[in-house]
Structure 1
Amino acid sequence: MAQKKRNPTIPVESLKHKDKRANIPTEELRDFVKEDENHPEKVLYPRDPSLDPQLVWNGKDEQDKQDLAVPSVPIYIQEKIHPQSLIEDVRRTVRKEAPAQANLFADFNGLKFEEMIDFYRHEANWANRMILGDSLYVMMSLAEKEGLKGKVQMIYIDPPYGIKFGSNWQVSTKKRDVKDSRVEDVTRQPEQIRAFRDTWERGIHSYLSYLRDRLVVSRELLTDTGSVFVQIGDENVHLVRSLFDEVFGSENSCGLIAFVTTGGVKQNLLANRFDFLVWYARDIERIKYRQLYFEKVPELGTAATYTWVEMPHGTRRGLTSKEKNKVESLPDEAKRYRAGNITTQGNPEFPFTYQGKTYIQPWKTTETGLRRLGFSNRLHVAANSLGQVNYLDDFPVSEVTKLWTDTFLGSFAEPKIYVVQTSQKNIERCILMTTDPGDLVLDPTCGSGTAAYVAEKWGRRWITIDTSRVALALARTRLMAARYPYYYLADSPEGIKKETEITGKIPPEYKTQNDIKKGFVYKRVPHITLKSIANNPEIDNIHAKWQEKMEQVRAKLSGLLRKSWEEWEIPREAEDSWSKDAKKFHQEWWELRKKRQEEIDKSIAHNADHEILYDQPYEDKKRIRVSGPFTVESLSPHRVLATDEEIPVSEKEGRKSAGSGQFETMILENLKKAGVQNTIKNEHLYFERLEPYAGTWIQAEGEYTEKDGAVHRVAVSIGPEHGTVGPEMVKEAAKEAVKGVGFDLLIVCGFAFDPHVSEEAKRYGQLTVLPTRMNADLSMGDELLKKTGAGNLFMVFGEPDLEIKKIKGGQITVEVKGLDIYDPTTGEIRSHSTDDIACWFIDTDYNEESFFVRHAYFTGADQPYDKLKRALRAEIDEAAWAALYTTKSHPFDQPTTGKIAVKIINHYGDEVLKVYEV
C-alpha cells in the first residue's frame, strides 16, 4: 500500500533581535537577590519652576516643594513564553515526532548559571516584556536599575480621557460592558484601586500630577531622537499640552494630531468626532521621522484636482461630469492628470515658444528645462498659458498630515477584547513614523496589548505595563496566539533577491545575518517632479535620436499630402481619402512617436526620485510569523511600597485619611464580623475570639471551633494595602506562627497573591496555611462595604485538582479535574468545577530557575488560535487545535529535571502555580 503523502511543512518563524537586556531575577531565583535590594534607593528627578509657562493646580505647590522621588525597585520575571515553540510542539505532536533537539527557550538567557544569579551585572538575550505594576515604579526601575535611560525610541501613553470611576477598568476577561454606576463592575485589583483612590482623589488635579510624573520619567527613557505620544480627548487636551511644554519644552512640540473616532459623543452642542494625539520630541532637532503616505483616490482629496485625461492614442481633454461622478468609466490605458503651475513670483520673465506660440512668464525653470518638458510631451496648453502635465501616476500618494480621517475604519475592523481598546491604526502610524525595525517601543498603559501587538507586527522591540491583571491576561493571550505577515528582511538572502528584482541592481556579495535593524524590503513609489524632468539630459539625447527618423517620415507624408505640417499638427487619425502610401507613412510616424515617448517616459521614471512606503514592506506569503519570545513580569511583591514616605507626593493625597494602623484595625474588625468563606455557600469559619497580636508578620491571633467541637488556634497575617502578597511574606509569617506558642492555622489575608504563594503555603507540615483573598471593597470605603455586605469579604479560593498520568511509551498527560475547595467549617477539601479557569500553562521540564510556558491551554478564551489554525490547516487537524481549549494536556516526555510546574489563571487574572515531581 502506498504511503500517504505528507503535506509540506509551512515555516513558522519569529523575529530575533540581537539587542541585549539587563539580567533580572526570576521569581524562582529571588533568594539570590542581594540583601541591599530590600532597601532600594530613591531616585530624584529635580523639578525646575523656571521652565515654560506652567499650569497651576490644587496640590502642585506641595508637590513642587521637593524633587520627584521614586524608589528604584527590582522587577521579577514570572513567565518566559516562546509562541513559536508552542506551535512547533503542537505540530510535532500531530506528526508524532520526537521533541526538537534545538531548544528555542535558550533564546531567553545565553548566560551561565553563575552569571544568571549575578543580577544586573550581565546582559541576557533580548525578550520583549509584559510587566504588572504601577507604571511610575516600573519606568523608574527600567531607567535606573536596568540602564534603559536614553534607550527607548518611542513611548505611547493612553491614559483615561476623563476622570470617571470605571473609565478603564475591566474586572473579568469575560466581561467588557463596564458601567460607571454599577458597583459590580468596580475593579477588584489592588493596583487599580490605588490608581483610583490615590491618583484620582482630587479629580483633574490628581490626574495632572499623575501624568506629569510619568512624563518626567518618559523624558529620561527616550533616546535623543525619540518621540512620545499621549492619546487624549478634547476634555483635557489643552491641559496635557501645557504639561508637555513644562516637561519637554514648547520648542519640542511636534504638533497635535486629530483622528476620527468610531462615533461622535452626543452633546448639547456639536457632537465630537475627534480625539487627539499630543506629540513631543525629546529633541526636535534630532528627531527620527519617517514620512508616511495615503494612496491618492481620484474622487477624494488632492487627487480630485486631476480633472484632465490623456487618452490611449495621445489626445487630451477634460473629464466629463459623468466621468467625474463615475457614471462613465475611462478606457484602461487613459491617464488622468492635472495642469500644474510652472510659473512663480519673483523670477525674471523670459519668452518661450511652444507649438508655434510664444509665452512670456516668470518660469519656475530654465529655458532648457522648459524645452525638455516640451520634448517629454509634459506641457499642457491653455488659452494663454502653459502648465506642467502632472499624471496621477507621477506621484500616486499624498503625505499623511495631522488630520487622520480614516481611523474609524480600523476600529470597526478590529475585534474588541478590552473595555478601552485603542485603535490599531493610531498606534501603527505613530510607530511607523518615529521608529525603525529593532527600535524599542514602551507602552505604560497596556490595556489589551494593542501597542505590543503592533510593535511585534512591525519588528520593533516592546515593553508594555499595566496595573490590571485582567488586561495583562488578555494581552498575553493575544500575543501568544497572534499571526503576523512575514516581511522580507533586507539583511537576508531572500530580501536581497527581492531588492534586486525591484531595483534591477545587483548588490555586492556579503554574508547576511538576518539583522532586523537593517529593516525590511519596502515598496516604493515614483516621485516625478518638474526638477527631475528639467535636469534630465537623457531627454535631449533620446529626442534627438528619434527626431531624425521622424523628420524623414514627416517629410514623405507632407510631400504626398502636399501639407507643411509641424509635428503638433499631424492628425491622430488618417483620412479615408488618403493614398495607401500616405496612410502607411502616417501610421509609421505615430509608431515612431509612441516609441520615442515610451523611451523618454522610461528615462523620466529611471531618473526620478522614489519615496519609500514604510507601511508596505513586501510579504513572503509562504511563511508564517508568530510573536517572538517575551516574558511576563511584575514588581517584587514586597516592593509595592505602602508608606507615605515611599510614594510620590502626587499620589499621597488618598492616603491621608487612613494610615497603615487604621487599615489593619479595619481589616481585623471586618474579619471578626464576617469570618472566612470559601466559594461554596454557607461554608464559613467564624472566630470565637480574634485579638491584635504584637508580632512582626502576624497582626492577630484567635480561636475557632470546628463542627466536631475541636478548638483551633489561628494566626492572621495581613498583606499590603496596595500590592501583592508574595511567597517571602508567607514564609516569614509561617516561621513566626510555628515558633513558641504554636498555631494550628495561619490565615494570610491579601488583595492579590503571587502565583508562587500556593507552593510556599504547602511547606509547613502541621501548620495549615490559608491564602485568603480580601474583597477589594475593603479599600474603597464604607459606601461600597454597605453594598457588599459581610458575606464575601474574605474568601479562600480553590487550589487546582490535577491528575497526572503516565501513558504508553512513558509519556505524561496532565488533566485539570477541578479546583480543590477548602471547607473552613470542617477542615476538609472537596473538588469543584473548572468554570472559572481562563487558561492554564505547563512547564514540562521545570528547572526551578524559570517558568517556561511549554504548553498553553485556553479553556475560557474565544479560540485565540483561529488565524493560525486557518494558516496551518493542512498540517494540524481540527482535533489538535481543539485540544488547546481543553482541561487535558496532550502527551509530553518525561522531564529531564524530574519536575513539572502548572500555572492556572482565572478570569480575574489571579494565578496559582503548582510544582510536581513526576
Structure 2
Amino acid sequence: MDKLARIGRLRGGGVGLRSILLLDDNPTTALDNIWLDTGSGSFGEPQTYVVQTVVKAIQRCILMTTDPGDLVLDPTCGSGTTAYVAEQWGRRWITVDTSRVALALARTRLMSARYPYYLLADSREGRAKEQDVSGKILADTFVTGDIRHGFVYERAPHVTLKSIANNSEIDVIWEKWQDVLEPLRRRLNEVLSTAFEEWDIPRDLAAWLDGKDGQAKAHMMTANVRKLHADWWEGRIARQKEIDASIARAANFEFLYDHPYEDKSRVRVAGPFTVESLSPHRVVAAREDTLGADLAASGAITSRPSTPANMPETDFGEMVLAHLRRAGVHQQVKADTIHFNSIEPWPGNYIAAEAHYTDGGQTEKRAAVLIGPEFGTLTRSQITAAAREASDSRFDVLIACAFNFDAQATDLNRLGPLAILKARMNPDLHMAEDLKNTGKGNLFVVFGEPDVEILDAPGGEIKVKVHGVDVFDPSTGDIRSDDVKGIAAWFIDTDYDEESFFVRHAYFLGANDPYKSLKTALKAEIDPDAWETLYSDTSRPFARPSTGRIAVKVINHFGDEVLKVFGV
C-alpha cells in the first residue's frame, strides 16, 4: 500500500481508499465479429479494379491466420490486394486469375510499391530492440535473419495493482530519486519558509505567490528559488517516467501483431516473383475407332462434346501456321524480320510445313517449320531430329516454333550448313480462339544466343562481359553478332546448380536510363556509384562458383529471354 501511495495510485473516497487505473494501463479494445472499419467506398483507398477489396480487411485476415513466412493462396487475384498485403507482412504468396488485365494491374502494383522495413526478431537490430522494449537481457546467440521467427512487435500492457505492488524495481527507482529530490525539497522549504511535503509543492510557483504581498513575492521569486523549484519538478517528472516505464515492463501484455517496429532508415520493395501462364485446357478428342473407344472407356482420353456445324474445331498446328503466314518471324532489328511468301503443309515426321521467303538479294529461300507442343517444352533432341530431316530435304533454314525451349537447346544454332532459328511463340496464341483480336506483331520472335566473355579479376575472382546477341541474317543465311542495344536486362547466377536460376547479379542496358523512374519512386538516398554498377555491360567481380558453373540470362526489349550456362 505504501508503494501504491508513493506513486499516486491511491486516492481517498468516502470512508476508505480507492485505486487509480489510467487509460494507458489497458489501451486496447477487443475486436468483435463485425468490422465496421473495413468498409470500402469514398473513405477507403483509391480503386484500381472494379471489385478491389479494401487492404485493411485482407490485412486483418492474414494477420489473424498466418505467421511470417507462411504461404497465402488467392485464387481470384483481381487488383492483387492479397499479394500486396502478403508481401508487406512477410508472407509468401501465390495468386491466380483468368484475366490478363488483372494480372497486369497486380504486377504493376507490386513492382511500384514501397513497403516499411520491419525489424526481424532473428537479427542483431531486432534483438537489440527486443532488449530495449522488454528490459530483459537476451542470450547472445547466432542470428540468421530468418523471417519465420517473426518481427519485433509493440506491446499492449495490462497493468494491475497487483503487478505494481509486486514490482521491486519501483523501490529501487524511488530510493535513487529520493537522494536527488529530498535535498531540493528541504532547501526550497528553507528559502520560502514553508513546510511543503512532496505532494504540496505547487506546479506553478508564480500562481502560488499571487496571494503574497509585493515585498514577500519579490523576496521569494529570486533566480535561486526559481531554479530550485524547476530542478525539483524536473527530477519529479523524470522519476515518474522511469516508474511508469518499469510498471509497463512488469505488466502482463499482448503482442500487437499489426504494429511491428519499423526501421525508418531503410526502404523495402517487392521481392523477386514470376508471372507464369497456364493456358486454357484443351480436351483431346477420341478417335472414332476401337482404340479410341477403349482409351476413352479407360479414362485415358476424353471425348470432346459435339461441336455445332458452324463452329468447326481448330487444329493447333493449323492455327499456328495461319498466324505465321500473317505475322512472320520478328527479330530485334526490323530489317531482319522474315516475311513469308507462302507456307504449305509438309508431310514430314517432325517438319510441319515448308515456307518460302525472299532475302535481301531477291533470292527465294526454303525454310522448314517445326511446331512444338501445345502444352510443354521443345527439347534439344526434337530440334536435332527435325534439323536432320530438314538437311535431308535440302532446306536452307529450320524455324522451330514453341512456347518454351529446353535449356539444353539454347546453344543449338546450326547443324552443319543448316541454320536453326528458335522462334518463341507469344502466349496469346494459346488463347487465339477466345480473343477477338490477336495482333500480328511479335507473335513469333527469334532471340539468338548471347555473346558472353568471362574475364579474370584480381584476387582470383572473375567478371562477365556481355557483347551482344547472335542474330540470324536472312539476307545471307548466316549468324552475325549484334551489339548490346538489343538487350534490356541481363542477370547472372554466380553459382548455378542446374536446377534453379537464382538472380545474384542484375544489370540493365536499356536506353535513356529506363530505371530513372524507379530511383524517383524510391524517394530515398541512392549511392550513385552503386547504382551505376547496375547500368553496365560488365559485371562486378565475384568469387568462382563452387559448382563449377555460372548461368547468364539475357532479356530483350520484347521480353523474350535466353539462358546460357558456362563452365568455370
TM-score interval, normalised by the smaller of the two chains: 0.5 to 0.7
Matches within 5 A, 1:381-392: 391=23
Structure 2 counterpart of 1:404, one-letter code: T
Corresponding residue for 2:453? 804
Report the identity percentage: 39
Corresponding residue for 1:841? 491
Structure 1 counterpart of 2:371, one-letter code: I
CA contact (8 A) 1:802 1:814 kept: no
- 2: CA distance, partners of 1:811 / 1:493: 30
Corresponding residue for 2:533? 883
How big is the shift at 1:856?
Answer: 0.5
* Structure 1 position 749 matched with structure 2 position 384: no
Matches within 5 A, 1:225-374: 354-355=13-14, 374=18
* Structure 1 position 693 matched with structure 2 position 347: yes
- After superposition, the C-alpha distances for 1:162-209 in whole angstroms (9 at most, x for unaligned) are xxxxxxxxxxxxxxxxxxxxxxxxxxxxxxxxxxxxxxxxxxxxxxxx
How big is the shift at 1:473?
Answer: 13
- 2: CA distance, partners of 1:431 / 1:717: 48
- After superposition, the C-alpha distances for 1:311-332 in whole angstroms (9 at most, x for unaligned) are xxxxxxxxxxxxxxxxxxxxxx
Corresponding residue for 2:422? 771
Q: Select the residue among 501, 520, 523 that pairs with 2:154.
A: 523
How big is the shift at 1:435?
Answer: 1.8
Corresponding residue for 1:901? 551
How big is the shift at 1:902?
Answer: 2.0
Question: What is the DSSP-based 3-state SS (H/G/I as helix, E as strand, rest coil) of the residue aligned with 1:885?
Answer: coil
Q: Select the residue among 632, 640, 643 that pairs with 2:283.
A: 643
Matches within 5 A, 1:362-761: 374-376=18-20, 391=23, 393-396=24-27, 401-404=35-38, 427-444=58-75, 454-455=85-86, 457-463=88-94, 485=117, 487-489=119-121, 498-505=129-136, 516-527=147-158, 532=160, 538=165, 576=211, 610-619=253-262, 642-644=282-284, 662-672=315-325, 675-678=328-331, 679-681=333-335, 683-688=337-342, 690-693=344-347, 695=349, 697-701=350-354, 713-721=366-374, 723=375, 726-728=377-379, 731-739=381-389, 741-742=392-393, 744=395, 745-750=397-402, 752-754=403-405, 756=407, 759=410, 761=412
User: Which 5+ residue runs of structure 2 have no aligned equivalent?
Assistant: 1-11, 171-199, 201-206, 221-228, 286-298
Question: Cα 1:402–1:818, aligned 2, differ >3 Å: closer, same or farther?
Answer: farther
- After superposition, the C-alpha distances for 1:31-76 in whole angstroms (9 at most, x for unaligned) are xxxxxxxxxxxxxxxxxxxxxxxxxxxxxxxxxxxxxxxxxxxxxx
Question: What is the DSSP-based 3-state SS (H/G/I as helix, E as strand, rest coil) of the residue aligned with 2:404?
Answer: coil
- 1: CA distance, partners of 2:343 / 2:253: 81
Question: What is the DSSP-based 3-state SS (H/G/I as helix, E as strand, rest coil) of the residue aligned with 1:690?
Answer: strand
**How many residues align structurally?**
479
Matches within 5 A, 1:99-138: none
Question: Cα 1:456–1:704, aligned 2, differ >3 Å: closer, same or farther?
Answer: closer
CA contact (8 A) 1:688 1:703 kept: yes
Question: Cα 1:472–1:410, aligned 2, differ >3 Å: closer, same or farther?
Answer: same
- 2: CA distance, partners of 1:887 / 1:419: 42
How big is the shift at 1:893?
Answer: 5.8
Question: Cα 1:624–1:684, aligned 2, differ >3 Å: closer, same or farther?
Answer: closer
Question: Cα 1:674–1:915, aligned 2, differ >3 Å: closer, same or farther?
Answer: same
User: Which 5+ residue runs of structure 1 have no aligned equivalent?
Assistant: 1-352, 357-370, 379-389, 543-566
How big is the shift at 1:854?
Answer: 2.8
Question: Cα 1:828–1:421, aligned 2, differ >3 Å: closer, same or farther?
Answer: farther
- 1: CA distance, partners of 2:540 / 2:406: 23
Corresponding residue for 1:780? 432
CA contact (8 A) 1:469 1:909 kept: no
- 2: CA distance, partners of 1:631 / 1:800: 25
CA contact (8 A) 1:841 1:902 kept: yes
- 1: CA distance, partners of 2:474 / 2:143: 61
- 1: CA distance, partners of 2:546 / 2:324: 46
Question: Cα 1:735–1:478, aligned 2, differ >3 Å: closer, same or farther?
Answer: same
Question: What is the DSSP-based 3-state SS (H/G/I as helix, E as strand, rest coil) of the residue aligned with 1:684?
Answer: coil
Using structure 2 for the length normalisation, give the TM-score.
0.60
How big is the shift at 1:868?
Answer: 8.7
How big is the shift at 1:525?
Answer: 3.1
- After superposition, the C-alpha distances for 1:217-250 in whole angstroms (9 at most, x for unaligned) are xxxxxxxxxxxxxxxxxxxxxxxxxxxxxxxxxx
- 1: CA distance, partners of 2:564 / 2:502: 13
CA contact (8 A) 2:26 2:157 kept: yes
How big is the shift at 1:738?
Answer: 1.3
Question: Cα 1:615–1:734, aligned 2, differ >3 Å: closer, same or farther?
Answer: same
Larger Rg: 2
Question: Cα 1:850–1:653, aligned 2, differ >3 Å: closer, same or farther?
Answer: farther
Using structure 1 for the length normalisation, give the TM-score.
0.41
